[in-house]
Amino acid sequence: MCGFVGFVNLEHDLQNRREILTRMTKKLAKRGPDEENFYLAPRS
């Protein structure tokens, strides 16, 4: 089973928030250890 996590903020650059994304991803680890990837994009 897969799961996705993420967040968007159009007013602030979130590229330095990888730690939060990592913690969110770890909450889904019990769903299966298949893969883990991150996408962080600059605010444009």
Instruction: Give yes or no for a contact between 7 and 14, defined as CB atoms under 8 angstroms apart.
Output: yes
pLDDT tens per residue, range 4-22: 888 888 888 888 888 988 8
Residue 42 pLDDT level (bands cut at 50, 70, 90): confident
Query: Residue ranges of the domains in the chain?
Result: 1-36
In the block, residue with structure tokens 């996705």 = 4
* pTM of the full structure: 0.61
Question: In sequence order, which ranges of 1-44 are alpha helices (DSSP H)?
Answer: 18-26
